[in-house]
Amino acid sequence: MFAKSQSYCSTGAFGADSYGQKFAFLCEVSLGAVQDVRTRDLSDKPFVLNADRHSVKTSHTQHIPDPQSCVYWKGRTVPMGAPVRQQQSDASDVYNELNYNEYIVFNSQQTCLRYLIQFDD
């Protein structure tokens, strides 16, 4: 599921020595109670998070982490491997608003920076 984040990274920020190199932060995030929304709900201004929720998850995506390829580490679910195409619940429900799930947290205290990843594009 790194492909989505990879597109946000750019090259050349650190001079000629880093040509072709990209960097990304990997954070641990406490989602708390999650509010499922469709992307069209987020475009309504202003978006209001329900009072009993701590984060937002976009639903109706084309791909999801493969449940068969998840590992459990220190009480957390970590998706591994290639994503799988999400099954439609019925013909009227279209899963094409986004390619991948996205989570949004509004409070920076719910995040903890863990790693700086350097990679070639």
Measured CA to CA, the distance from residue 23 to residue 118 in angstroms comes to 5
Cα–Cα distance for residue pair 33/91, rounded to 1 Å: 29
pLDDT the model gives residue 92: 47
Amino acid occupying residue 62: Q
Cα separation, 115 vs 121, in Å, equals 18
Please name the residue that has the structure tokens 């190199």.
21
pTM value surpassing 0.75: no
User: What pLDDT is attached to residue 55?
Assistant: 93
**CATH C-level class of 2-120:** alpha beta
pLDDT for position 59:
73
Query: At residue 120, what is the residue type?
Result: D
The pLDDT score that the predictor gives to residue 36 is: 86
Positions of the chain with pLDDT under 50:
92
β-strand partners of 81: none
